[in-house]
Amino acid sequence: MEALAVGNPAAYRRRVFALALLGYGYLVLVVLVLLALCAFFIASVVYLRALAVKLLFVAGAPLLLVLRSMWIKMETPAGERLTRAMAPELFHMIDELCARLRTPALHDVRLTPRVQCRGHAGTGASDCWVGIAVTCSSGCR
pLDDT digits (tens, 9 = 90+) for 102-115: 777 777 788 887 76
What is the domain count for the chain? 2
Q: Are 106 and 98 in contact (CB under 8 A)?
A: yes
Residue 88 shares a structural domain with residue 60: no
Does residue 33 have a pLDDT over 90? yes
Domain boundary (39, 69, 99) is at 69
Residue 23 lies in domain: 2-69
Residue 39 shares a structural domain with residue 62: yes
Percent of the chain topping pLDDT 70: 81
Residue 6 shares a structural domain with residue 65: yes
CA distance 87 to 130: 12
Domain boundary (40, 69, 98) is at 69
Residue 51 shares a structural domain with residue 104: no
Residue 51 shares a structural domain with residue 26: yes
pTM above 0.85, yes or no: no
| Mean model confidence pLDDT for the chain | 82
Does residue 141 have a pLDDT over 70? no
Count of CB atoms situated within 10 Å of the CB of 31: 15
Domain boundary (69, 90, 124) is at 69
In a domain, residue 74? The reply is no
Q: pLDDT for 45-54, tens place per residue?
A: 888 889 989 9
**Does residue 107 sit in helix, strand or coil?**
strand
The mean pLDDT value for 67-76 works out to: 80
Which of 7-21, 91-105, 126-140: highest mean pLDDT?
7-21
